[in-house]
């Protein structure tokens, strides 16, 4: 995320997401809430709560530290708000850059820079619903 203009947009988008606003507050205060405070909340917030130790605020953006054991590096992934996930899926699957590749490749492209709870199932569902991929598979 070296581009500051992207950071500003992501800061705004995250601040419009109630879950990420709450997570950012937890991280800024350095205080993870008790389990019973989030147990009745939605999947996304509970998932981010469980990863509290891997999350941080970097240049006002909530990011996730991910250990890429294959490459032996630590990646910082911007946590994408719910409102922007479809756009990321489209960019990493539908565009000429992406090439309508399968679930694994699409997920790997996304995970190079981004993260959200449920990313695996979202990518799987998105690729399965792609009309262009469906036509290509059935033409074989």
Global pTM? 0.86
Q: Which of 32, 49, 79 is the last residue of a domain?
A: 79
Residue 2's pLDDT band, with cuts at 50, 70 and 90, is very low
Give the CA diameter of the chain. 55
4 pLDDT above the threshold of 80: no
Three-class SS state of 81: coil
Q: Which of 79, 114, 132 is the last residue of a domain?
A: 79
Name the residue range of residue 97's domain.
81-140
Q: Are residues 9 and 47 both part of a single domain?
A: yes
Lowest mean pLDDT among 13-22, 67-76, 121-130: 67-76
Q: Are residues 30 and 88 both part of a single domain?
A: no
- pLDDT, one tens digit per residue, over 23-63 is 999 999 999 999 999 999 999 999 999 999 999 999 999 99
Q: Are residues 15 and 51 both part of a single domain?
A: yes
Tell me what pLDDT residue 75 has.
92
Q: Are residues 17 and 30 both part of a single domain?
A: yes
Residue 6's pLDDT band, with cuts at 50, 70 and 90, is low
Q: Are residues 103 and 93 both part of a single domain?
A: yes
Tell me what pLDDT residue 140 has.
58
Count up the domains in the chain and report the number. Answer: 2
């Amino acid at each position: 995320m070296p581009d500051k203009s992207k950071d500003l947009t992501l800061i705004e988008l995250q601040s419009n997401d109630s879950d990420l606003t709450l997570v950012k507050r937890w991280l800024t205060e350095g205080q993870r809430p008790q389990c019973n405070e989030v147990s009745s909340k939605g999947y996304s917030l509970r998932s981010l709560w469980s990863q509290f130790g891997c999350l941080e605020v970097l240049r006002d953006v909530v990011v996730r530290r991910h250990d890429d054991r294959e490459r032996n590096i630590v990646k910082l992934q911007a946590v994408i708000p719910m409102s922007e996930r479809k756009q990321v899926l489209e960019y990493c699957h539908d565009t000429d850059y992406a090439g309508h590749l399968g679930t694994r490749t699409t997920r790997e492209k996304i995970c190079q820079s981004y993260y959200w709870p449920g990313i695996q199932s979202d990518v799987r569902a998105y690729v399965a619903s792609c009309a262009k991929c469906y036509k290509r598979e059935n033409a074989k």
